[in-house]
Structure 1
């Protein structure tokens, strides 16, 4: 909605139906009440600023919207790459099949469990040389 109405004057002209549709797309509870509050907010007098300030804020809002749109596109690209690379792992189906684990979360869990597996394997390895009398394996501090 900010892309369509970045300043209070244009936001005040938005019809309730358009605001309500945006609130419902965002899956917000009590959509009608929230849409009415959003419609009424830019109509209050305390939001009025000099036109130069309002214009500057509108330019800033448009720039931030462009940055967010670019970030969202890059996040989508990254998610696709993570999903593709995770699919190459032999245990990927196991991780992704767990309730609540998507490809992105599965990719985060995989190295943690792999690292834990390596730690567990090293924990069972002997910590001392095979012979306690082997002088080349043990050194003493002077």
Structure 2
């Protein structure tokens, strides 16, 4: 299963969440994927479960790393915008529009940071299911 390649948009939080939803499809579908690729005892000889588990492991690992990098990039960009807006706000304390933009960006930053926690939960769930179903077929060289 290949991970969808979706470019993460950092400016708008709803677009950010939509992109993450697409990027998380591999995790959302892991149970179905494992049910499809791991053979029952009667079909065990017809499918190379170790190879399919290895491919799924590689796909999961790549998807998780890609999402984490994308989220952290957006957090860094948002943090830079917050800092810039703070500097502007310090120079012009009476600008209400600037204050509003700063507060909105701070909220977006907090929401993006919370996505790292969501990411951890999603990843843990996927690895638990993967280990449960692939433990007899594939042992990764590094621990999960």
Normalised by the shorter chain, which TM-score bucket?
0.3 to 0.5
Higher helix proportion, which one? 2
Q: Could you tell me the TM-score, scaled by structure 2's length?
A: 0.34
Q: Could you tell me the TM-score, scaled by structure 1's length?
A: 0.34
